[in-house]
Amino acid sequence: MKTDLRLIYLILILTIAFSGCKKQNSEGDKSTSEIIKNDYAEGFSITKTKDGYLLRLFDVNNSNPLNEIFLTEKKSEENTNYQQLEIPLKKTIIGSSTFIGFLNTLNKIEVIQGFPGKQLVYNQKLLDRIENGKVTDLGNQISWNVEKVAEMNPDAMILNLFGAEDPSIENIRKLGIPVIFVQDYQETHPLGKAEWIKVFGLLTGKYDHSVAIFEDIKNNYLCLKEKIGNVENKPGVTSGMIYEDAWFAPGGDSYMATLISDAGGDYIWSDKEGTGGLPLAKEIVLTRANQADYWIGAAAFDNYAKLKEHDKLFESIKAVENKNVYTYIGKIRENGGNDYFETGPVNPDILLKDIVLILHPEMIQDHELTYYKALK
């Protein structure tokens, strides 16, 4: 009887022990999967696992992901629930000037295999590579040349998605080429757009470096914003341009509205809800324009004569009368490439410095306008 009790006791101990081991393994599996929280960006999520990273990319207006891609250094038969892509990418076709800026900041310009439109490029290294035949200029096109893409056989294509998907995209997928939609342009906070450098860091094998870069950008931006937060005088600022019969101004919830506010400006369209360009009637612009001491982002005009020639309405605007109009052509090339659209999004701290220098020059030292330029 005594032996039987010992046997039962031993079985209980083993049961508890194995039970404990099983629970520990379960928790251990969970601990190998970690969602990396973003600071500002809303359009992507990264989950780190023991074998790689699960990258989810979103349209910010839809909770269903546009892409779910498992990024790994070596494909495996595990993780078959998701499309797999080996990283780092060695050759890719990109579809946006902004992506040049992200890759240049990571010193990975050489992974660009193709780009649609040499006339849009500012980066000299990329221009040289196009000139030397190392990068294919795919031309400014609405629909992709599937045969050309097949011939190039990139590791992946990285594109923006505007509205409905182009039919050529599905044909490219059938070739086995992953198409990655990067919706960085939908971010409404300047630091949210800059945070996309983490996605490019992940794709190019420089994730830790991209995190360090973003932290520097974020700290620079927030330090200057805090410093400017104490200014009492906040000059009125307008932005945008007239096209045909309407003035298109960034909405009150937009990227530009945030930059102006953080730089100590009073954006005169802040009460207009929206994140994109809002078409405003000319009459409204005339009524409210006198509240604006500055006009920042007056398209690509470089002098007042051309600006007034575009529309006589501008002659009566206070910022024009006082010659306080600035455009984003501080760094352009003869071919048309504009660095505002390449490295501007990944350098919101410098964009903020530019606007602070315009609105509150007494608050900033040792800085010259980089992306913006005063009209002559």
**110 & 162 share domain:** yes
Residue-range definition of the domain harbouring residue 198: 34-213
Q: Express each pLDDT in 188-219 by its tens digit.
A: 999 999 999 999 999 999 999 999 999 999 99
**pLDDT at position 31, please?**
54
Segment 58-61 long-range contacts (CB within 8 Å, at least 24 positions apart): 58/183, 59/161, 59/181, 59/183, 59/186, 60/183, 60/186, 60/187, 61/186
Residue 324 lies in a domain: yes
Q: Express each pLDDT in 41-64 by its tens digit.
A: 999 999 999 889 999 999 988 888
| Rounded distance between C-alpha atoms, residue 36 and residue 206, angstroms | 16
Residue 265 lies in a domain: yes
What CATH number does the domain containing 306 carry?
Answer: 3.40.50.1980
* 3-state SS, residue 247: strand
Q: Express each pLDDT in 148-161 by its tens digit.
A: 999 999 999 999 99
Residue 63 lies in a domain: yes
**238 & 367 share domain:** yes
Residue 133 lies in a domain: yes
* DSSP tag of 264: T
Q: Would you say 80 and 143 are in contact if contact means Cβ atoms under 8 Å apart?
A: no
* 3-state SS, residue 176: coil
Banded pLDDT at 325 (limits 50, 70, 90)? very high
Instruction: Write down the H helix ranges in the chain.
Output: 2-31, 97-105, 124-131, 146-152, 167-174, 190-194, 197-203, 207-228, 255-262, 282-288, 304-310, 318-321, 339-342, 348-359
